[in-house]
Structure 1
Amino acid sequence: MPSFDKSFLMNHTCLRIKDPKVTVPFYTENFGFKLLNTFKFDDFSLYMLGYETVENKGLNWSARQGVLELCHNHGTENDPEFTVNHGNGTEHRGFGHICVTVDNIEAAEKKLIANNVKFQKKLADGRQKNIAFALDPNGYWIELVENAIDKVEAKTSVASYKFNHTMIRVKDPEKSLDFYRNVLGFKLFSTSKHENAKFTLYFLGFEHDPDFKEDTMSNEERFKREGLIELTHNWGTESDPEFKGYHNGNSTENGAIQGFGHTCVSCKDPATFCKQIDEELGDKADWSLKWNQGNIKGIAFLRDPDGYSIEILGDDLFADQK
């Protein structure tokens, strides 16, 4: 089995975007993200955003949790036909949303509305009055939930905001939970079962306390975290022979367009980790890019049971580039 030390964390989530001059300010001005690094390559650029905290002060971007990677393929900003798949349409569903938890959700929503941010769902809409979904310039959904950190009546401060989780839909939760827990080292934080709507949510993240008991974390504690993944299982997909699976965000087959790119696990010794995965899974390891074999060295990409990509990299990647 792969071994997991305290350096393991869920580093980032990658989303493709149309225009960085629009999208980067959207996240920095409305949600308080900081632009940590920009990496420019011949055909594309990467914008790494995250929240500055006491815990991550001075750390390399790849040694942090809760980083949002915005990937811009050069020229899309001038292409009137370019669009992305936000994952929530009637076809090619898969990725669902990212989630930012905030100190005071009513005040945060009011501020975003004043800044002309569009919403898929406001607090007053529907039955769930404690959750909202904003829309970024590319159409991606941003869930808003309250973490109540340093909450002040009628006010909001981005100092308490967290990039909490990334949601993807999965066909078979048993296979997905086994993969994320036993291959990648995640712990199951909590499970939320919804009988009436017939779906279950599984929240996972890295936890290195040896006394941690899985599936016991309260919502209050979970909302204060960063670097989680939410696996959404719509009941019956695992046994439905007609179900064709979810779109992984990268495929262009059957008329699909791209959008969500990947999540990422970083650690101190990714080369050894990739070797251990190969030793454990053998031919069952679904690598889209094996360790150190791409144009960018020091990375690998592994697919999960639904075909979603997980990047694996070191916590010192590009540490010398600012």
Structure 2
Amino acid sequence: MSGTFDHVMIRVEDLEESLDWYTTHLNYEEKGRWEADTFTNVYIGPEELHDEGAMLELTYNHGDNSYELGNAWGHIAVRVPEDELQSSYDQLMEEGVEDYRDPESCGNRYAFVKDPDGHEIEIVKRDQGAKWSIDHTMIRVEDVDEAIGFWTRKFEYEHTGRWESDTFANYFMKPEGASEHAMAIELTYNYDGRTYDLGDAWGHLAVRADDLHDYWETLETRETEQYRTPADCDDLYAFTKDPEGHEIEVLERDWSDESLFPA
């Protein structure tokens, strides 16, 4: 199905440390790897990954690199069963994971930890999907009307939930007809008019297309920013940006391919 999220890319300073962290604590497994001269990309995710589920892409640039998290990207959220929030959190604490916000401080509705590079990971209670599968990715936006319009018009997303408080609002969106297993995007809007820094520790969101060129033509018709066209990327994938500058990759996905990386 075109438009569903395929993966979230983050940059890591120590690939082996990050792989060990995700495979040990979230029971992720390596799904695919691409070795280039200057960087390595690794797809990881739960063993039981739904065909509309999203993966995490770890990007390691060879050499001694450090990254700034910024604050325009918020977190990824992973699922645990409704009755396992506290026990899952306790297990992570016993394993030495860095605590950020415990369940009690979050009204026993969710909790937060951090990975070795400081990326925030929310733990949310869900009865669908494999344990630790990615539920949503949160980004912060300065103009929520523009952001909602972008995802609605360009990618045919719809609201799947919202939370509005006195100081901020969260809007969850997915493609029309997407499975409950599919990852959502959470748009966070703070009412105080603050601005955000993208940093470089977060890379991009990626959406799937049944046909890259047909889908890109549709995005062109809808006046989506042409950041890197298919022709710029050897007709393997393409990139656009949302109004806030978050990068969005577009690629085809065939789970039966020998490699998950376009070639």
Q: Which residue of 1 aligns with 2:258?
A: 320
Deviation at 1:207, TM superposition (A): 3.4
Work out whether 1:246 is the aligned partner of 2:196.
yes
Taking the aligned partners of 2:49 and 2:100, their CA distance within structure 1 comes to 33
RMSD over aligned Cα atoms: 2.3
Q: Counterpart in 2 of 1:206?
A: 175
Question: Quick one: distance in 2 between partners of 1:134 and 1:86?
Answer: 15
Q: Which amino acid aligns with 1:100?
A: V
Residue pairs, 1:1-322, within 5 angstroms = 6-53=1-48, 55-56=50-51, 64-75=52-63, 79=64, 82-87=65-70, 93-103=71-81, 104-124=84-104, 126=105, 128-148=107-127, 159-195=130-166, 198-208=167-177, 225-237=181-193, 245-249=195-199, 258-281=200-223, 285-294=224-233, 297-316=235-254, 319-321=257-259
Structure 2: distance between partners of 1:261 and 1:30: 22
Aligned to 1:252: none
CA distance, structure 2, for counterparts of residue 130 and residue 191 of structure 1: 15
Task: Output the CA distance in 2 between the equivalents of 1:159 and 1:189.
Answer: 20
CA distance in 2, matches of 1:308, 1:248: 7
1:162 to partner: Cα distance: 2.1
In proportion to residue count, which structure has more strand?
2
Q: Percent identity?
A: 26
Following superposition, the deviation at residue 190 of structure 1 comes to 1.0
1:118 and 1:291 map into 2 onto residues whose CA distance is: 40
Shift in Å, 1:55: 4.0
Residue 127 of structure 1: CA displacement?
Answer: 5.2
Opposite residue 167 of structure 1, the aligned amino acid is M
CA-to-partner distance for each residue in 1:270-302, whole Å, 9 max, x for gaps? 211111222231xxx3222112313x5411110
Write the distance in 1 (CA, Å) between the matches of 2:49 and 2:22.
21
Q: Could you tell me whether the CA contact under 8 Å between 1:298 and 1:317 is conserved in 2?
A: no
Q: Distance in 1 between matches of 2:143 and 2:121?
A: 25
Paired AA for residue 153 in structure 2? N
Deviations 1:88-118 (CA, angstroms, capped at 9, x unpaired):
xxxxx21011111112011101110111000
Tell me, yes or no, if the aligned pair for 2:75 and 2:119 is still in contact at 8 Å.
Answer: yes
- Deviation readout 1:177-235 (Å, 9 max, x if unpaired): 1111110122211111012xx100000112327xxxxxxxxxxxx9x633111000001
Secondary structure, counterpart of 1:178 in structure 2: helix
CA distance in 2, matches of 1:7, 1:208: 11
The list of structure 1 runs, each at least 4 consecutive aligned residues, that deviate by more than 6 angstroms after superposition, is none
Q: Secondary structure in 2 aligned to 1:96?
A: strand
Contact (CA 8 Å) 1:51, 1:66: kept in 2 or not?
no
Q: Which has the larger radius of gyration?
A: 1
